[in-house]
Amino acid sequence: MQWTHFPWYWVGTEHFAWALFLAVAAPGLLAFIFGFFAFRSRIKGVYFSIITQALTYAAMLLFFRNETGFGGNNGLTDFKVLLGFPMGTAGMTVSLFVASSLTLVLMFLFSRWLVRSKFGRVLTAVRDAESRVMFCGYNPLWFKLGVWTISAMMCGIAGALYAPQVGIINPSEMSTSNSIEIAIWTAIGGRGTLIGPIVGAVLVNVAKSWLTVAMPQVWLYVLGGLFIVVTLYAPYGIVGLLKQWRARRG
């Protein structure tokens, strides 16, 4: 198909720079709009989780429709060229792996800087005692909205790197199970840390790659069992256990 056959919102996406901008800006804009109304209404906790999951599910159903212009059930496939280089070659595979690794390091460093900044310290205070932050003259809305939007933009970058490596992206990637799996990464790796979700993601995906081939029918049971065990016996995850072990030795 020619680019002229696509809906109007695809205009310009044949240019790499514009496509990359949209991959970051589109999720950021959607997150800002949703977050503004959600945080302004003081929605939090389990209610916030339910609403976000419901909206994600609704978006998945919407993108399954062919008339949305995103490929319907098949999604977007047949990625052949990136920056003039053919996809599927060993060189491109290595290049995408290196790009993903560098992006991970940069995002980690950015997140660490953000947490240690004044903005991050206020966010920590909002998490621990939101009412006291308000008494100090800060409006928690803008801090929560800011980090919510930034996280969505970071997810957009991750998605832009993910799609060309797997060769397909379809609406099923927005399923509730994927959202839960990401939460399990954090629980297993360690809540309240930056390195914890990375550790959890690596371990869970290594196990997933092996079990979905060897015993595909038991993978979800194993994942759920891991989450229950970690929640009951290691609430701070692997990183928390390592910190406790180091503290006992020290």
Considering the domain architecture, whether residues 19 and 44 belong to the same structural domain is answered as yes
Considering 132, 157, 173, which residue would you say is the last residue of a domain?
173
Considering the domain architecture, whether residues 152 and 28 belong to the same structural domain is answered as yes
Considering the domain architecture, whether residues 150 and 184 belong to the same structural domain is answered as no
Considering the domain architecture, whether residues 119 and 224 belong to the same structural domain is answered as no
Mean pLDDT of the chain: 86
Give the span between the Cα atoms of 90 and 36, in whole angstroms: 44
Considering the domain architecture, whether residues 162 and 125 belong to the same structural domain is answered as yes
Considering the domain architecture, whether residues 89 and 184 belong to the same structural domain is answered as no
Domain encompassing residue 203 = 175-250
Each residue's pLDDT tens digit, 123-143: 999 988 888 989 888 999 999
Considering the domain architecture, whether residues 227 and 108 belong to the same structural domain is answered as no
Residue 5 has pLDDT above 70, yes or no: no
User: How many domains does the chain contain in total?
Assistant: 2
Considering the domain architecture, whether residues 33 and 88 belong to the same structural domain is answered as yes
Considering the domain architecture, whether residues 26 and 135 belong to the same structural domain is answered as yes
Each residue's pLDDT tens digit, 187-217: 999 888 899 999 999 999 998 888 888 888 8
Give the span between the Cα atoms of 154 and 221, in whole angstroms: 30
The pTM is what? Answer: 0.84
Each residue's pLDDT tens digit, 214-237: 888 888 888 888 888 888 888 888
Considering the domain architecture, whether residues 250 and 135 belong to the same structural domain is answered as no
Residue pair 187/224 in contact by the 8 Å Cβ criterion: no
Side chain identity, residue 227: F
